[in-house]
């Protein structure tokens, strides 16, 4: 049985976390500067975590050591809403928030459109910057660089995982699936029907925003959908087609999941917690909510491979600095970004939200050690992340991603075969990337 963690205790820990020393040079600059600076920070709140309370707490704590800097959080629904806010403000000649938490994969589109500024020069003047950057988990920094410049800092990061109701598994004599056949068999065995009605689904795998949760499945069959560079995708590969057919078989053959596109991202966690679904594919960012509310033992795993192994991809948001800032605003923005990503705050943010701590030092902190000892799922997710593949990060991401979504959803809904859909997706994606090659 999972021991529940009081959210009040967690929030208190976040708000009173020790102030991170971001380097003597930055500290001195903040103390010496007499210029009043107001920084707006755009933040997505459509996540399973009390992020508004946390960011308000950061603003209060930061003010104590940077009295000339006022932090004004600006909240939007999700990552796409924050990006739209930045684009609309800058394109319209208005004042965009100086800092914004947006998807790490948006770096190419944001940099090409000059909505953001690189952090490289500012960090080069920060004492201890090399050690600071080296402390981040490498997988989270992969999407921070473009054209030999650093454009963002990892903050609200996650990975694709599968949660399972370990009590139901034990009652059915099942163990954690070690391959995709065992996953399908477990999902089938744990599906419960009363007449024509399903009272418990074996698995829910939401595909309303499919590329991210689909990537580990494609990798499980042997092929990621994105290449090592920023202009190559592998949509029309036999392994990808096999992965789509497997997903469809979970419904058509095993009758263990709803048919077609599952546009139910916000429903799967409540369904899991209520016992109406035995396995869900979701973000690791839901971990804290699940552990705090489940009255059963929670198992967590990566997506099992076709024959063996475990697969995942990272996800989530990074902190970006928008373009057009004054020198004083840039210094203050970097100071606050470094404060937000300090090991102390990264550890407490992870405990309070379920998002993965972004630095090695955060995992070695006393708070994280104690939490991980009580909740071994945290260490399991870190292990899953260690072998994660590259998330779909590509030039012209918005268009390429939409192409993939449109055709894979057509395949899920039976409007096209998987082979037909992916052939068209590859053709159109290659055309969308042609100017960037």
pLDDT digits (tens, 9 = 90+) for 123-170: 999 999 999 999 999 999 988 999 999 999 999 999 999 999 999 999
Q: What is the pLDDT of residues 8-26, one digit of tens each?
A: 333 334 333 443 334 444 4
Could you list the beta-strand ranges (E) of 263-388.
277-283, 298-301, 303-304, 310-311, 314-322
Strands 152-165 and 298-301: antiparallel
Average pLDDT over the chain reads 91
Structure tokens at 335: 């100071």
List of residues 6+ apart from 183 with CB closer than 8 A: 162, 177, 203, 279, 303, 304
Q: pLDDT tens for residues 111-124?
A: 999 999 999 999 99
**Residue 432 confidence (pLDDT) above 70:** yes
pLDDT of 1 higher than 60 = no
Q: Note the pTM of the prediction, 2 decimals.
A: 0.88
Whether the pLDDT of residue 330 is over 50: the answer is: yes
| Secondary element (H or E) of residue 202 | strand 197-204
Most confident of 7-16, 40-49, 184-193: 184-193
| Domains delineated in the chain | 7-158+315-386 (3.40.190.10), 160-313+396-436 (3.40.190.10)
3-state secondary structure of 19: coil
Spatial distance between the Cα atoms of 247 and 249, rounded to a whole number of angstroms: 5
Cα–Cα distance for residue pair 204/279, rounded to 1 Å: 6
């Amino acid at each position: 049985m999972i021991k529940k963690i009081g959210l009040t205790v967690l929030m208190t820990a976040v708000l009173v976390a020790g102030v991170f020393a971001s380097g003597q040079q930055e500290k001195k600059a903040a103390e010496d500067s007499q210029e009043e600076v107001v920084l707006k920070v755009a933040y997505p709140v459509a996540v399973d975590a009390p992020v508004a309370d946390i960011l308000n707490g950061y603003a209060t704590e930061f003010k104590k050591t940077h009295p000339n800097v006022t932090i004004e959080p600006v909240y939007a629904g999700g990552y796409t809403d924050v990006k739209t806010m930045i684009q609309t403000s800058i394109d319209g000649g208005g004042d965009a928030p100086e800092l914004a938490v947006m998807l790490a994969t948006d770096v190419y589109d944001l940099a090409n459109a000059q909505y953001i500024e690189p952090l490289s020069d500012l960090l080069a003047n920060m004492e201890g910057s090399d050690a600071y950057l080296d402390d981040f988990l490498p997988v989270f920094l992969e999407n921070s660089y473009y054209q030999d410049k650093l454009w963002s800092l990892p903050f609200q990061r996650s990975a694709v995982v599968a949660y399972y109701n370990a009590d139901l598994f034990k009652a059915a004599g099942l163990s954690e699936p070690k391959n995709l056949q065992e996953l399908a068999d477990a999902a089938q065995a744990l599906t419960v029907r009363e007449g024509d009605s399903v009272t418990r689904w074996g698995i829910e795998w939401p595909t309303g925003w499919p590329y991210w949760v689909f990537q580990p499945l494609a990798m499980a069959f042997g092929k990621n959908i994105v290449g090592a560079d920023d202009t190559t995708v592998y949509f029309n590969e036999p392994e990808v087609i096999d992965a789509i057919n497997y997903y469809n078989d979970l419904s058509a053959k095993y009758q263990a999941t709803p048919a077609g596109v599952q546009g139910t991202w916000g429903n799967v966690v409540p369904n899991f917690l209520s016992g109406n679904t035995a396995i869900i594919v979701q973000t690791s960012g839901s971990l804290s909510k699940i552990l705090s509310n489940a009255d059963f033992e929670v198992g967590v795993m990566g997506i099992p491979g076709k024959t063996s192994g475990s697969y995942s991809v990272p996800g989530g948001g990074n902190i970006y600095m928008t373009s057009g800032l004054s020198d004083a605003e840039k210094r203050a923005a970097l100071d606050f970004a470094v404060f937000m990503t300090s090991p102390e705050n990264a550890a407490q943010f992870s405990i309070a939200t379920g998002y993965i701590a972004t630095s090695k030092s955060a995992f070695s902190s006393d708070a994280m050690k104690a939490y991980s000892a009580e909740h071994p799922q945290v260490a399991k997710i870190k292990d899953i992340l260690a072998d994660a593949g590259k998330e779909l990060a590509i030039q012209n991401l918005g268009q390429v991603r939409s192409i993939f979504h449109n055709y894979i959803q057509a395949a899920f809904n039976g409007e096209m075969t998987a082979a037909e859909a992916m052939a068209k997706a590859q053709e159109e994606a290659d055309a969308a990337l042609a100017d960037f090659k």
